[in-house]
Amino acid sequence: MEKKPFLTESMAQDIIQDVPTPFHVYDEKGIRENARRINKAFSWNKGFREYFAVKALPNPIILQILKEEGCGVDCSSLTELMLSEVCGFSGSDIMFSSNQTPVEDMKKAYELGAYINLDDATMVDFLDRVAGVPENIFCRYNPGGTFQLGESKEGFQVMDKPGDAKYGMTEEQMIDSYKKLAAKGAKNFGIHAFLASNTISDAYYPELAGILFQLAVRVQKATGVHIAYINLSGGVGIPYRPEQTENDIMAIGEGVRKKFEEILVPAGMGDVSIFTEMGRFTTGPYGALVATAIHEKHIYKEYIGLDACAANLMRPAMYGAYHHITVLGKEDAPHDHKYDVVGGLCENNDKFAIDRMLPKIDIGDIVYIHDTGAHGSAMGYNYNGKLRSAEVLLCEDGSHRLIRRAETPRDYFATLDFLPFMKPLLGEYNDD
């Protein structure tokens, strides 16, 4: 089975004239249409808002596109807050979910008027001490144990272990925290939870919603506070493998609506606003890493070496994650060669694919690695002195636009510019 790229070989070659490989490219049309689908799926809820997870794709042009489509942002650090602020987000546009939070991060979130989501019961006094308690406040829930769904439509089981996760509070801690926060002046309360990652099952969000809606009823009864918001966070996945079927966001929205009508409305809580943080689902399929085959190697296995490496896309090396590969211009050629597709890091896990059946790859072929629009470029790093690649936007009209330039050696050495003996080296790479 094959996945269809949103870029043809001729389109890629056109971009390469301006931006050498490797680069990440994003499909503006796909991102906008998907954001509209999400908003439509939850339009039954008067207060619904999608808070795009900035960590998935922290590029200001992408954030501005999503802002135009009505999305807010989910931030977890000072720099993500700063980036969101310059893109025009403030107040209730921002959800701040952090853990082990530095003082300056919390102060910034408070100053921006963001929805602050407390990860731990000890954070109540911390927030009060370093910033103050706002009228709107969230607490993050961890139910412990194992979260499991039966077989999904593709035959994959959804299972994760919240009890092993470092995030969130117990129910008892949440109740105690809400009481303390109410005493300190909080008026409207929210519940947030994340129980499983990258689920390919339409049942996950409705199941999570049912758990959180029942929790909300219990907590409101136990504390007397007003539960105004429930944030289902992320976890809705994308089909990285070609045999997987993509989630039906309309069916997911309808499943959550049924739980809402079944649990919250009879409890007199029909005014609750539903929030989501679907970073991966929103942009993941609409990004690709484009690289060039620069070497081949024939030893005990057949290798194709790219000008990209794990510094440009960490997921396969870090998680053993699957990313589909298309050789542009050879989409219809027989997949009769078995390759390890690798990068140039001095690490043996720097492999985009292992034993992958692909068409014969020649030096100079353009390799398109699918589904890098979330947690792709964002997880880049500089190990081995490798430099982060450029980011390009494929605009709705078919043109392309550079939205992040590639790093240069000058960028790599910039944090050493205070050392006198580094100045000649930095001078070699003067941007002038």
Catalytic residue (one of 75, 87, 139, 346): 346
pLDDT average, residue stretch 322-347: 97
Query: Per DSSP, which regions of 154-268 are E strands?
Result: 157-160, 188-192, 226-231
Predicted confidence at residue 309, as pLDDT, reads 97
* Under 8 Å between Cβ of 47 and 273: yes
CB 222 within 8 Å of CB 175: yes
Can you give the pLDDT at residue 426? Answer: 82
Is the per-residue pLDDT at 149 higher than 70?
no
Residue 140 pairs in a beta bridge with 192
Condensed to tens digits (0 to 9), the pLDDT of residues 61-96 reads 999 999 999 999 999 999 999 999 999 999 999 999
Q: What pLDDT, on the 0 to 100 scale, is given for residue 155?
A: 38
Interatomic CA distance for residues 381 and 301, integer angstroms: 28
Burial class of residue 9 (count of CB atoms within 10 Å of its CB; 0-12, 13-18, 19+) = middle
pLDDT confidence of residue 153 = 40
Q: Per residue in 192-236, pLDDT tens?
A: 998 888 888 899 999 999 999 999 999 999 999 999 999 999 999
DSSP state of 46: T
pTM reported for the whole predicted model: 0.94
Instruction: Give the pLDDT confidence score for residue 247 in this predicted structure.
Output: 95
Which H/E stretch holds residue 394? strand 390-394
Own/partner contacts of 216-222, CB < 8 Å, gap of 24 or more, are 216/191, 216/264, 216/269, 216/272, 217/263, 217/264, 217/267, 217/269, 218/171, 219/171, 219/174, 219/175, 219/178, 219/191, 220/267, 220/269, 222/175
Instruction: Quickly state the pLDDT bin for 296 (edges 50, 70, 90).
Output: very high
In Å, what is the CA distance from 390 to each residue of 16, 26, 328, 402?
11, 11, 19, 8
Q: What is the pLDDT of residue 197?
A: 81
- pLDDT > 60? residue 430: no
Q: What is the pLDDT of residue 154?
A: 38
pLDDT(351) > 50: yes
Q: What percent of the chain has pLDDT over 70?
A: 95
The answer to which of 147-161, 211-225, 294-308 has the lowest mean pLDDT is 147-161
Residue 24: Cβ within 10 Å count? 28
Q: Tell me if residue 276 falls in helix, strand or coil.
A: strand
Give the per-residue pLDDT at 144. Answer: 82
Does residue 2 register a pLDDT over 90? no
Among the residue ranges 161-170, 251-260, 329-338, the one predicted with the least confidence is 161-170
pLDDT band at 102 (very low <50, low <70, confident <90, very high): very high
For residue 272, pLDDT over 50 is answered with yes
Domains of the chain: 28-284 (3.20.20.10), 285-416 (2.40.37.10)
**pLDDT band for position 428 (cuts 50, 70, 90):** low
> Residue 292's pLDDT is what?
98
Rg (CA), the chain: 23
pLDDT band at 150 (very low <50, low <70, confident <90, very high): low
71 is catalytic: no
Structure tokens given for 365: 């072929």
Q: Does 152 have pLDDT greater than 60?
A: no
| pLDDT tens-digit map of 376-401 | 999 999 999 999 999 999 999 999 99
Region 319-342: mean pLDDT is 97
Instruction: Give how far the C-alpha of residue 61 lies from the chain's centroid of Cα atoms, to the nearest Å.
Output: 16
Least confident of 32-41, 180-189, 192-201: 192-201
pLDDT at position 401, please?
98
160 band by pLDDT with thresholds 50, 70 and 90: low
The reported pLDDT for the residue numbered 165 is 77
Mean of the per-residue pLDDT values for the chain?
94
Which pLDDT score, from 0 to 100, does residue 151 have?
45
